[in-house]
Amino acid sequence: MIKLTVLIPAMALLTITTLSSCFYTSRESQKLFAKAKTEQFDVIIVPGIPFEEAGWSHTMKGRVYWSKYLYDQGITKNIIYSGAAVYTPYYESEIMAMYAHALGIPTEHIFTETTAEHSTENIYYSYQLAKKMGFKKVAIASDPFQTKMLSNFTRKKVSKDIVLIPFVIDTLKVLEPRMITPAIDSTQAYKPDFISITKRESFWKRMRGTLGANIDESR
């Protein structure tokens, strides 16, 4: 019989091990960033996240501010924000682009990809857009969880040359006191004929989409 005092730490260790495999640790993020900042990218891809009328979420705010930091530091020349109106009637990419511009990034360096409904599609379709625009050096910039989750798909299904630049949490903490929420006109990103993906697709089709199985490779 296994004592409970032994079982609990074992379960905790299993949970920690499982979760840690799903996101980049602070040390791993710092290492990836240290390598990335020695280069200059033509464009970074920033995947979308649903926008609610009440305002942007902490995660969206983090992604936009991280992209602004990379732009301000000269690490990237341009940014592609990606995301359709998926769970709410707002184009995620357009909302992020408006916030980015309101924070000071020139519109000529902001691009949007408005059809992706899953993270895998964010990367695939944005990379195709980047190539069409002549961008050669491409990176993904997002939170440590999403970046890690997309790493295998990106390298195996999109391009091994795409660089990963997850958040460096310590850097965002330094920036946080100066992080404002600028006013935007969200109605400009509103989709009138919106139907939530949960009503258009079954759970299993959405799961397939999450894995990249619904990508239109003819685009």
pLDDT at 5: 38
**Distances from the Cα of 159 to the Cα of 118, 124, 150, 214, angstroms:** 18, 9, 12, 18
pLDDT in tens, 154-192: 999 999 999 999 999 999 999 999 999 999 999 999 999
What sign does the dihedral 143-147-150-154 (CA atoms) show? Answer: positive
The alpha-helical segments, DSSP class H, found in the chain are 4-20, 26-36, 58-72, 92-102, 119-132, 144-153, 169-175, 197-200, 203-210
- DSSP state, 189? G
pLDDT at 219: 72
pLDDT at 58: 93
Q: Tell if the pTM clears 0.95, that is, is over it.
A: no
pLDDT in tens, 95-141: 999 999 999 999 999 999 999 999 999 999 999 999 999 999 999 99
Of residues 36 and 9, which shows the higher confidence score?
Answer: 36
* Total residues belonging to the chain: 219
pLDDT at 12: 40
Tokens of 211: 């894995």
Domain 26-210 homologous superfamily, CATH: HUPs (3.40.50.620)
Phi then psi for residue 154, to 5 deg, are -60, -50
pLDDT in tens, 48-77: 999 998 899 999 999 999 999 999 999 999
